A = this chain, B = another copy of it.
Amino acid sequence: MAKDAKISNVVIKRLPRYRRYLQELQKKGVEKISSNEFSSLIGYTASQIRQDLNNFGRFGQQGYGYNVDELYYEISSILGLNQKHKMIIVGAGNLGQAICNYTEYYKSGFPVEAIFEINPKLIGMTISNIMVLDYEEMVEYVEKNDIDIGIICTTMDAAQEVADRLSFAGVKGIWNFAPVDIEVPGKVALENVHLSDSLHSLAYHMSKKKKENK
């Protein structure tokens, strides 16, 4: 893992995908896999796979292939998934509730500890057993509870102010679902999910295919 710093973002983006396929192999009881077999499964060339994984050290042996458990563990570790990340959600509207339900799935590694909201009607409710707290208490809560990730599910207008407060309070990462591009200090990691962009991109490709098929 000494080479870690030099790895391109493109390779990093592929790691969760490797991990997903390895997890499936584990579930099926597969113990080892050659780069050729892995290639036909995941759709990258065998040489691409070897190159990608060589970035992180020596996995796999000539004539044996990759040990599925070992590779899964190593990729998880590179991704920082072998530790717990405590999260909070900001915004208890449709989107915040949706993300809260969705993240139930990740609760062992990425537990949602609380939801913060400015609307007094929603404060005090619970969503999937998670308390909705007053946004004014957020900074103190993050500091006291060592929260790692803030999930922004607010409107476009509020998102930057929320990101500023989260960064000030000391989160290490922000997962932004608000449909706007926000700025964060260099020490904070940021990942945007613009679901509406994805839906609109789908609509474009549908309308293009419709024209082609006329």
Asked if A196 lies at the interface with its beta carbon under 8 angstroms from chain B, I say yes
Asked if A197 lies at the interface with its beta carbon under 8 angstroms from chain B, I say yes
Q: A204-B15, A204-B78 are in contact. Are A4 and B106 (CB under 8 A)?
A: no
Chain B: minimal CB distance from A176 (Å): 10
Residues of B within 8 A of A208 (CB): 4-5, 189
Q: Which of B81, B104, B194, B196 contacts A200, CB < 8 Å?
A: B81
Copy tally for this chain in the complex stands at: 2
Q: A43-B181, A102-B95 are in contact. Are A85 and B195 (CB under 8 A)?
A: no
Q: A20-B179, A97-B101 are in contact. Are A206 and B80 (CB under 8 A)?
A: yes
Q: Which of B180, B198, B206, B212 contacts A85, CB < 8 Å?
A: B206
A-B contact pairs, 26 of them (CB 8 A): A12-B205, A15-B204, A16-B196, A16-B197, A16-B201, A78-B204, A79-B201, A79-B207, A80-B204, A81-B200, A81-B203, A94-B105, A98-B99, A98-B102, A106-B199, A110-B199, A149-B202, A172-B206, A172-B210, A173-B203, A175-B198, A187-B209, A189-B206, A190-B202, A191-B202, A193-B198
